[in-house]
Amino acid sequence: MTTKDIPKKNISNEEIRFTADVHSNLKRNPNFKKLSQDDILYFQSILPSNALTIESDSNQEELMAYNVDWLRIHRGKSKLVVKPKTTAQVSNIVKYCNEKKLAIVPQGGNTGLVGGSTPIFDEIIISTKNLNQIREFDPISSTLICDSGCILEILDDYLAERGHMMPLDIGSKGSCHIGGNVATNAGGVRYVRYGSLHGTILGLEVVLPDGTILDNLSTLRKDNTGYDIKQLFIGSEGTLGIITGVSILASRRHKAISVAVLGLNSFENVQNAFITSKEMLTEILSAFEFWDDKSLKMVKTHLDQSAKFPLDEYPFYALIETGGSNKDHDEEKLSEFLETVMEKGIVKNGIIAQDNTQMKSLWSIREGIPDAGMKAGSAYFYDISIPIPVMYKIVEDVISKLKNAGLYGKPVIDVHGFGHVGDGNLHMSIITESYSPKIINLVESCINEWTEKYKGSLSAEHGIGLMKSKILENSKPKVMVDIMRKMKYIFDPNGIMNPYKFFPYQKYEELKV
């Protein structure tokens, strides 16, 4: 269970990879005002000085950390970061920006993977990092209310002391903000059990693009009075407003947790093991993850994990986590499951973690794959929803097409498949020596073919951001995209909220209802 810190310092220009290419089709929207000294004076009048980062000779590095995304693909040129501490401050900032037509990008932990949380041009960055108070927790109804800038892991630790846990868990939990999780509809490794944030978010407080505070911080599990407006903000990536408060249904923390890792000879058997786990571990199954042999090798090479992995080499590995209220019962179920899948020849070998340290070590293999990829070369990550039976066929097809084009080996170093079997959510990383449009085009056209054929999704859990804004129009029927445009226009007629993302800028003028 690793944590990912956002790069705060020492990002050199050389490390930023292909900003120019990604941004080349975009032009700054001339309707947006440029930041002036008067604007800065205004923000200084409503915020304490430590809530502002204003461009100067001495703070280029500090500003860079907000302008560059985690993947170091995108770099904006914002000259101002505001870090409000209250919802009222957010409201005042946004109201002013809307009146002046100053564009805004809301930013949480800046751990997104699609360039949604960094500016493209000179948008003002509104960071939620100082909105970090836990407001209340009710252990009877298991409801937590907190500011949107609370870090996921801190919330989970807080709940742990109260016998509860957050209903989501993702690799970046050490730095991502709950508001960002909601804004991007984060999925993660325990989704197979606790499901979507659309089900567990009970209420939101949102500052709308005109500065109005929408207070819907309900803790009610059931409330059928009117359309469920808060659902629109879940996954809207800051394009409809800035989430400032979150009410979420926590889960009881498990008294017993077990982790097993399996070695398997084929992806078909990964699938068979998953089906059997659903049948035999039903109510205690918390995670079913997989990775291929090349992913493991990469983690062993680039992270300090080689000594810790207890299985021999197999083409595929699966990690199963169970959580329940009775350790003996859970262990009995898990042992019976392992016996069954090994007797049937589905699993070649499997071990149950002996202690907490080994559990963490096994998880760190799975969660270390993106980090290892970033160290192995220029890494590109894909995030695909597709029916489970064909999940890994995409990886095989991409490799075969790269081979045919003479690109595999060099400049493409390797292609890895891993991800959330239980959700039909494949992650694929392409590690190259350096960025090449030729490789990306080949890979993406291959992925498009598969998702089109099997009605999959080109963004299972990472969102649209800037990087995938071209796919939105082809991912959903025109009638749905038209409705989305209308929504955007209703909430944000000036288009100041996270511009250039989601809907390509060029068509913004068409949004009018």
Report the site for its own copies in 442-461 (rule: CB under 8 A).
455-461
User: Is residue 101 close enough to count as binding its own copies by CB under 8 A?
Assistant: no
The least distance separating its own copies from the CB of residue 134, rounded to whole angstroms, comes to: 19
- Can you say how many angstroms the Cα of residue 379 is from the centroid of all Cα atoms in its chain? 16
Please identify, using beta-carbon distances, which residue of 35 and 182 lies nearer to its own copies: 182
Q: What is the DSSP letter of 280?
A: H
CA dist 320 and 299 (Å) reads 19
User: Is residue 92 close enough to count as binding its own copies by CB under 8 A?
Assistant: no
Written as six digits, the tokens of 454 are: 């099997």
CA dist 107 and 338 (Å) reads 44
Q: Are 412 and 431 in contact (CB under 8 A)?
A: yes
Report the site for its own copies in 119-138 (rule: CB under 8 A).
138
Report the site for its own copies in 259-318 (rule: CB under 8 A).
271, 274-275, 278-284
CA dist 209 and 94 (Å) reads 6
User: Is residue 161 close enough to count as binding its own copies by CB under 8 A?
Assistant: no
The least distance separating its own copies from the CB of residue 512, rounded to whole angstroms, comes to: 10
Question: b/e map of 76-112 (b: 16 or more CB within 10 Å)?
Answer: bebbbbbbbbebebbbbbbbbbbebebbbbbbbbbbb
CA dist 126 and 496 (Å) reads 12
User: Is residue 252 close enough to count as binding its own copies by CB under 8 A?
Assistant: yes
Supply φ then ψ for residue 264, to 5 degrees: -135, 155
> Which DSSP string do the residues of 447-483 spell out, in sequence order?
HHHHHHHTT-BS-SSS--TTTTTTTHHHHS-HHHHHH
The least distance separating its own copies from the CB of residue 302, rounded to whole angstroms, comes to: 27
Written as six digits, the tokens of 53 are: 């980062």
Instruction: Give the x/- contact pattern for its own copies in 376-415, rule: CB under 8 A.
Output: ---------x-xxx--------------------------
The least distance separating its own copies from the CB of residue 234, rounded to whole angstroms, comes to: 7
CA dist 277 and 341 (Å) reads 9
User: Is residue 184 close enough to count as binding its own copies by CB under 8 A?
Assistant: yes
Please identify, using beta-carbon distances, which residue of 340 and 436 lies nearer to its own copies: 340
Written as six digits, the tokens of 242 are: 């800035």
The least distance separating its own copies from the CB of residue 420, rounded to whole angstroms, comes to: 8
Number of shown-chain residues binding its own copies (CB under 8 A): 94
Q: Which of 161, 225, 355, 406 binds its own copies (CB under 8 A)?
A: 225
CA dist 276 and 281 (Å) reads 8
Supply φ then ψ for residue 300, to 5 degrees: -60, -40
- Of 298-306, 310-318, 325-333, 427-435, the segment contacting its own copies by CB under 8 A is 325-333
Report the site for its own copies in 452-511 (rule: CB under 8 A).
455-464, 468, 471-472, 475-477, 479-481, 483-484, 486-487, 490-491, 502
The least distance separating its own copies from the CB of residue 491, rounded to whole angstroms, comes to: 8
The least distance separating its own copies from the CB of residue 328, rounded to whole angstroms, comes to: 9
